[in-house]
Amino acid sequence: MYKLLSSSCFILFISLLFSCEKEFTPQTTFDEPELVVEGYIQSGNGALPPYVILTRSLEYNRTIGQDVLNNLFVHDATVTISDGTNSAQLQELCVSDLSFLPPFLQAAIANAIGIPEEAFSGQGLDFCVYADLVGILSNSGITPQEGGTYDLTVETTEFGIATAQTAIPPSITLDSIAAKDHPNFPINDTLVEIYGYFQDKPGINYYRIFSQRNSEAMYPATSSGSNGSVTDDKIFDGQYFQFNIVRGQNSFEEFDFDTFGFFERGDTVTIRTSSLDYGHFRFFQTLEANSASQGPFGTYVRVESNITGGLGVWGGSSFTEITKIIPQ
């Protein structure tokens, strides 16, 4: 089961910039915290149930400590999703709620809603998520389907009411994936590049790519020449298309220029192709552009949100996956 933190962006670590002569602290217009919503509803084999993470925004130059992290989460909210006919109220579940259960039950519940194993590592962060626990246990509730439209309503004492709407577009399926030798082959005969091939559907479409290697988590991937894991199909609308897949990896792992983006011979590779609606696409397009433009010469990019009454994203998607074992 893929973990929430594989694609989650609920905590952003922002570095301060320093000039050559003295420390520079930018002016801030931060008045008070705002509600930050990160919620997803997916259709696909093995998809997580709909879930929402609620946090508070932080001031740009706020010092981040354990107390600040634990106070990020917004508790006791009323979170409801609707497909226009049926509705479901999501229940809040935190890691601390599972601590009294036997380990095998902890694992079963955590896997069902995607709480990452890292949350049980004893680091002290009480990770919390709203999910349809009743629907999970009774096999009922909202059933995400391609072509469906889904409304989200969040009611909190602190922030009032926030709303959003998303849709789940039709999925696409890669025809195949193939491994190609490393550009420095045969000097480097261990690493390979992965390419994907598919027939794009006519009309404007929005995609996001993920990759998984062996038993690792599923991470957002990129393509050579792109600025992130999302893209539209303006340059290949309706065409048969091939693209290089730059392997995604944990952004907190040590960076290795020699192996970054490559797979190894013998790896089991899974590529997930997600179809997004426009609001979901624009959130990640602007978020990744913002993250890539950090530094003294970076250009500020405002992250777009589809949340009314808050910040963040309520994102619908459909996905398919394809797996291949790379020959030795």
Q: CA torsion, points 294, 56, 77, 128, in degrees to nearest 10?
A: 70
For residue 293, is it within any domain?
no
For residue 161, is it within any domain?
yes
Q: What is the spatial distance between Cα 243 and Cα 260, in angstroms, rounded to a whole number?
A: 17
Cα distances (Å, whole numbers) of residue 137 to 82, 100, 108, 129, 282: 19, 19, 11, 16, 34
Whole-number pLDDT of residue 15? 33
Whole-number pLDDT of residue 25? 53
DSSP code string of 93-146: EEHHHHTTS-HHHHHHHHHHHT--GGGGSSS----EEEE-HHHHHHT-S----T
Whole-number pLDDT of residue 118? 59
Whole-number pLDDT of residue 17? 36
Number of structural domains, the chain?
1
For residue 144, is it within any domain?
yes
Whole-number pLDDT of residue 207? 96
Output the six-digit token pair for 1.
């089961």
Output the six-digit token pair for 227.
């600025």
Supply the range of the domain harboring residue 137: 4-168
For residue 78, is it within any domain?
yes
| Average pLDDT per block of 10 residues along the chain, 328 residues long | 47 36 54 92 92 89 75 94 94 82 66 61 73 74 92 97 98 96 94 96 95 92 79 94 91 82 96 97 92 67 94 97 95
For residue 129, is it within any domain?
yes
For 220, phi then psi, to 5°, come to -60, 135
For residue 313, is it within any domain?
no
72 contacts: CB under 8 Å, gap ≥ 6:
10, 11, 55, 56, 58
Whole-number pLDDT of residue 49? 87
Whole-number pLDDT of residue 297? 62
> What is the DSSP-derived secondary structure letter of residue 273?
E
> What is the DSSP-derived secondary structure letter of residue 301?
-
Instruction: Kindly give the pairing relationship between strand 35-43 and strand 311-325.
Output: parallel
> What is the DSSP-derived secondary structure letter of residue 246?
B
Predicted structure pTM score:
0.84
The amino acid sitting at 26 is P
Whats the size of the chain, residue-wise?
A: 328
For residue 197, is it within any domain?
no
For 134, phi then psi, to 5°, come to -65, -45
For 290, phi then psi, to 5°, come to -65, -45
For residue 152, is it within any domain?
yes
Q: How many other CB atoms are found less than 10 A from the CB of residue 95? A: 19
Whole-number pLDDT of residue 280? 97
